Homo-oligomer: A and B are copies of this chain.
Amino acid sequence: MESYIESLARGAYIASTKLALMPTATKNLLLNEIADAIEARYSEVLEANQKDVDSAVNRALPPALTDRLTLNASRFREMVGGMRQVARLPDPVGRILKGYTVASQLSLMKKSVPFGVVGVIYEARPNVTVDIAALCLKSGNACILRGGSEALNTNRVLHGIMQEILKREGVDQGAITFVDSTDRNDVRELLTLDRYIDVIIPRGGEALHRLCQKESTIPVIVGGFGICHAFVDESADLKRAVDVIINSKVQKPAACNALDTLLLHRSIAEEFMGYLRPLCEEKGIVLNVHGEKLESLVRTLGYKASLITHGREEDFDTEWLSLKLNVAIVDSLDEVLLHLRVHRATHSDSILTNNLDNARRFAANVGSACVYVNAATRFTDGGQFGLGAEVAISTQKLHVRGPMGLEELTTYQWIGTGDYLCRA
């Protein structure tokens, strides 16, 4: 007997074979019609969302989670607008990535094609349901959406609206498949259906990514978390460097590309910390200070005790997702490179410098997905990279690194043509 999850996955697989060949204009039409339909049913969606929010409040879920769960007028507008934006982006399917004729006279062409079926496992934010459905549809992939239990009512309504449009337009409804279940075992089962699902994209915290990495027999795009570092060297323009550090930390502290650890060259530490103090107070940044020298420095400089904590070595492996920030003094760029290696920099790291050789050595030696010279770590983002949209941020090395846009939702296929050609 086929299980519920298996039948969903098989349905998505069947739909994917048709979706792969859908003309761009049809896909764009569907996206715009879905956006219109969702927009027209604003109050229905917000009513369902209110149920989820009420239940989260009743269950005393963390306020941050309840916030992520909540759809309001502006978030709703952004969600619908995002779908229309995806309709306007170029179709990533059918690009000829390469082509040549080899000596045997075989003509080879490397062409972008959809993955097939993309499984997305995510947490509270209900807009992900619409975002991912749009990106997968545009890239010719069927999707299987498994959202967080907290957002079930909202997700159900959003999925229902999308289904209505697919049905009305005669599109296989498996194209946007929704797992209407809160059973954790269903996630586990999903992760083993490699005969139907081509790739798994987890959207959520580290625990979710680890679960997928451990249990999935399907390739997983791991990402969305990681320690972000910045190093201010002895040559940097310190007043401008402070701005970049502040921007990296406070522009969106809960984002995965927010700064976690600041490393200061010994020779500029005192001056830099002097410039930083008023801004820390203004923004409420809590410095987690490492080392005696720096502890005495912040006392001397008159930092408020309430904005200082004592740093432990293991804090260097903590992604704060808050206004907290590790600060430490280093003696050299070599020490920085070692620190980044020991603490597994994989996401986004920045050097602030006016020294060309330091910039070059930092870029060449730091192994993370995105390395910056004199720019904030916050730039690691599909929109900022000009990709127009973002499915996830990858911190793994296979297939995609950093922002994953529409193009990265495709794979490729080789097409070889000959004149009844045999291999010699």
Contacts and interface: CB of A to CB of B under 8 A. Distances in A.
Main SS of chain A's interface residues? mixed
Interface residues of A, number: 70
Contact of A418 (B103, B213, B372, B418): B372
A217 B220 CA distance: 10
Contact of A237 (B104, B401, B420): B420
A370 interface: yes
Interface in A195-231: 195, 198-199, 213-214, 217, 219-220
B414 A369 contact: yes
B17 A373 contact: no
A5 interface: no
A344 B198 CA distance: 13
Nearest to A195: B344
A76 interface: no
A216 to B, nearest CB: 9
B398 A364 contact: no
A230 to B, nearest CB: 12
A341 B113 CA distance: 16
A102 interface: yes
Identical copies of this chain, number: 2
Interface in A344-372: 344, 352, 359, 363-365, 367-372
A115 interface: yes
A256 B103 CA distance: 22
A4 to B, nearest CB: 23
Interface string A389-424: 000000011110110000000011111111111110
Interface stretch (A35-43, A47-55, A377-385): A377-385
A62 interface: no
Contacts of A401: 411-414
Nearest to A101: B386
Contact of A399 (B198, B376, B398, B414): B398
A194 interface: yes
A379 to B, nearest CB: 6
Interface string A49-67: 0000000000000000000
Given A106-B384, A371-B414, A413-B368, A199 B398 contact: yes
Interface stretch (A125-133, A243-251, A266-274): A243-251
Contacts of A379: 104, 106, 416, 418, 421, 423
Interface in A102-120: 102-104, 106, 108, 113, 115-116
A213 B194 contact: yes
A241 interface: yes
A385 to B, nearest CB: 6
Contacts of A106: 375, 379, 384
A134 to B, nearest CB: 21
B251 A416 contact: no
A413 B362 CA distance: 13
Contact of A247 (B380, B411, B419, B423): B423
A228 to B, nearest CB: 13
A218 to B, nearest CB: 9
Given A21-B365, A106-B384, 5 more contacts: A104-B384, A219-B219, A243-B422, A374-B418, A385-B414
**7 closest pairs, A vs B, by CB?**
A375-B418, A247-B422, A240-B420, A375-B421, A397-B411, A378-B423, A399-B399
11 contacts: A21-B365, A102-B384, A194-B213, A195-B344, A199-B398, A237-B420, A241-B420, A243-B420, A370-B415, A378-B423, A401-B411
